[in-house]
Amino acid sequence: RPVLVNNFAEHVRLMSADSDFRFSEEYEDLKLVGHGQTCIAADLTVNRAKNRFTNILPYDHSRVKLTPTDDDDGSDYVNASYIPGFNSRREFIAAQGPLPSTRDHFWRVVWEQHCPAIIALTKCVEKGRDKCHQYWPDNDQLSVLYADIEVTLMNETVYKEFTVRELKLTNISEPVAPSRTVKHLHYMAWPDFGVPEYAAGLVRFVRLFRTRLPPSPSNKPTVVHCSAGVGRSGTFIALDRLMQCAAKNLPLDVFGIVYEMRLDRCHMVQNEQQYIFIHHCLLYVLETQYDMATNLIGNSLSQVGSNQGTTTSAFLSDNVVIDFPNSITSNDVGNNLNAGITENDVQIICSNGSTTFIGTALQHQPNTTWITTPRVEVHLNPAFDDDEGIAESGL
């Protein structure tokens, strides 16, 4: 059911008619995808307590296996599954939020799989309910030992909707192994129930992830988790994959991607509202790519020959580059973003070699200047319960 990029807005309009009736029909067709596959390891008596929810279990064929530590049948078990992405068949690991008893197993996954990044999509506690046991050091701890893995908080930057941490991992049981750095991107703006009101925040977060970890077939798996590791996690993974399709002007197949994920982990994109939200996020992606490209190109062409000096490259396709000055006024982008996003909320995610940061308009400053780094990619291509509702109903 792929849809051409140029036809996607009309496709969403048709699907949304009559109270999202066609969305409901399409999502219903995903209901039984993947069901009937074996979950023998997850259902072993020794492993049952390691599952946060009794009905969210990894399939045997796609589960992540830990290196066995003893003769115990369950020593290789963790509630996590390999999930395909745009660039490789095992681009992601979708995992449940760690329990106190599985926190050390979580870090073994990160270490053994050489994971470069962790995407967290839930707070530890929401509405008084435990969603995920905290598995990283607080600011006042700096380093914490989780079994054999010492985790050190190198830095932490808090933004309006998310927090970015850099963690150093040292395996004390492997003294000759060098320490590793892991990026921890923690999105905390998902509401306790339903989906985010606006698409912009999650789209920004995915773009941030991809500036910190550019897509590559050689990347090791990135861990993505919420609480059950299927709802918000599935939404994020699907959106990341579809945004890369959009950037390359490839057909957008939301149904096909969710179908494929569900063959490897049950309930991925856990409810209809999340499924529809993915479409709204893609609309936002396409609209802002076009608006930002139009403004940036116009700004560039109007100042060709000026003495501003340094320029920034806008990559409009695989082989077209247009330069524009590094200073972009807030009016160049602020007027073209969707309702609900104010000028001061907008953040341009950029990269400059090994340094990555977010440029934001300063509040209450007239004629604010956007500070950007020397590389911005621009592509010119025209609720229910929370995400654990199904999981908890099975307890």
Q: Indicate the length of the chain as a whole number.
A: 395
- Tally: H helices and E strands in the chain: 8, 17
Residue 239's SS3 state is: helix
Distance CA 16, CA 12 (A): 6
Q: Structure tokens of 350? A: 């950029």
Active site residue 266: no
CA–CA separation, 150 and 111 (whole Å): 11
Residue 375, Cβ density class (10 Å: 0-12 exposed, 13-18 middle, ≥19 buried): middle
- Per DSSP, the three-state class of 207 is helix
C-alpha 174: how far from chain center: 31
Neighbouring CB atoms inside 10 A of 138's CB total 10
**Integer angstrom CA distances of residue 39 from 59, 70, 211, 264, 346:** 5, 21, 36, 11, 44
Among 226, 245, 281, 350, the active-site one is 226
Would you say 224 and 110 are in contact if contact means Cβ atoms under 8 Å apart?
A: no
**E strand segments, 24-120:** 80-83, 92-95, 117-120
Name the β-bridge partners of 138. Answer: none
Give one DSSP letter per residue of 85-102, joined into a string.
-SS-TTSEEEEPPPPTTT
Largest CA distance in the chain: 72
Tell me the catalytic residues: 226
